[in-house]
Amino acid sequence: MKKMKAVIGAVAVTTTMVLTQVSTCFGVTEIQWWHAMGGTLGEDVNKIADDFNKTQSEYKVVPVYKGNYTETMTAAIAAFRANEQPHIVQVFEVGTATMMAAKGAVYPVEDVMADAGEPFDKSDYLPAVISYYQTPEGKLLSMPFNSSSPVLWYNKDAFAKAGIGEPPKTWPELYEDSQKIVNAGYKCGFTFGWQSWVMIENFSAWHNIPLGTKENGFAGFDTEFTFNNEKVEKVLTDIAEAGKKGLFQYGGRRSDSQPMFTNGECAMWMTSSASYSGIKEQAKFDFGQAMLPYYPEMIDKPQNSIIGGATLWVLKGHEKASYKGVAKFMTYLSTPEVQAWWHQVTGYVPITTAAYELSKKQGFYDKNPGTDTAIKQLSLNQPTPNSRGIRFGNFVQERDVINEEMEAVWNGSKTAAQAMDDAVERGNKLLRKFEKANN
């Protein structure tokens, strides 16, 4: 009898253990997160997901790399149509209007948080970041994640060799410094990455010039492009002339020009603040970052830059209970500790004031002077309708058009005025196409 009781007891214990394990296994809800972060950034994304998963046992965030920004957004749209969409997808800023128009597909993140009963205070987030992704009524549509702004990166060693004491503040100074740098034996003075974003979109915001009507698309789909103006044409003409003198070299539409800076060919590079980790890893010289140059003849002082990068959009179509896990992950993602770490290792700006203050307290900016340049640019002045950002439909395709026309300026086949007129004409056709498709 004693042996029988012992056997029954052992079976009962074993059964309980098995049932507990099975219950735990089946109790974990997977949350698919599709993203566009490759290389080192992809490893950082995996760390964020792994660290969140360790904080609780109900949900498991599974990050999946789906290619570059355009490929990731395209994959998510196709997956939604096939009812195989992820819970979360990372979409770059110029995809905002397209996502907003996807009626029935998007679950606004502010609603996600409210429905899950998760604490959420929009005042915690940097205004320059959050305003880009709000409806006209102020509802937050997607969660800011990897926000950046273009800055002027410069080679301190090259500056010292050329006898330049500090980075240029204006475009005339930049051209003068570029000549000194070339005279000192360097291949070129400056280049830039993401040329439409830096030289059209941010140049316009920095100089408080509208890129289009209807508050750059924020006030309605029936907008028209207006970047074929004298100020934009001037900067493009001046850059083209600098190219003829060997002061500027074009390196590609995205970040293709990075090696031109990190290998020491060009001493200045205007591109994303999020290039920090790559430059730190690759450059064999002392480097710094400064604010973008401006034309003093156009404006007394710069207005503010606008963000790039991407946000996390939540897609509908999953079990209601899983969205509670999505909300908890969004809360974790926004904590000062996570955001400060992400900001410091990548160069993306922290999305909350608390994360910025924590970085200060930790002495990050003292140890790495200039790494708060993007934050200062974004917060330089209260954004105007010209500098809040852009919200144009089909802008992914329109950027391709702008890039093509800018390349025609660099290769000398078109004047800046011709190229921008053509870009506006072609771009407006894409706007009308988007407007028609979305009423």
R_g of the chain, CA atoms, integer Å = 25
Q: Following DSSP, what letter does each residue of 262-297 receive, concatenated?
A: HTTSEEEEEEEGGGHHHHHHH--S-EEEEPPPB-TT
| Ranges of CATH 3.40.190.10 domains, the chain | 2-148+308-365, 150-305+393-437
Mean model confidence pLDDT for the chain:
92
- pLDDT grade, residue 260 (50/70/90)? very high
CB 310 within 8 A of CB 90: yes
* 436 token code pair: 């028609």
Q: What is the DSSP letter of 191?
A: E
- pLDDT grade, residue 132 (50/70/90)? confident
- Whether the per-residue pLDDT at 243 is higher than 50: the answer is yes
Summarize pLDDT for 140-170 with one digit per residue, the tens: 999 999 999 999 999 999 999 999 999 999 9
- Whether the per-residue pLDDT at 277 is higher than 90: the answer is no
Rounded-to-integer distance, Cα 318 and Cα 209, Å: 43
Give the residue among 151, 200, 198, 192 at the shortest CA–CA distance from 402.
200
Higher-confidence position of 348 and 27: 348
- Whether the per-residue pLDDT at 407 is higher than 60: the answer is yes
CATH of domain 150-305+393-437: 3.40.190.10
CB 387: neighbour CB atoms within 10 A?
26
Q: Which residue type sits at 256?
A: D
Positive or negative, the CA dihedral 6, 11, 14, 15 is: negative
Percent pLDDT > 90 in the chain is 85
At 51 the three-state DSSP class reads helix
Domain 2-148+308-365 indexed as CATH 3.40.190.10? yes
CB 28: neighbour CB atoms within 10 A?
14
Percent pLDDT > 70 in the chain is 94
Summarize pLDDT for 166-211 with one digit per residue, the tens: 999 999 999 999 999 999 999 999 999 999 999 999 999 999 999 9
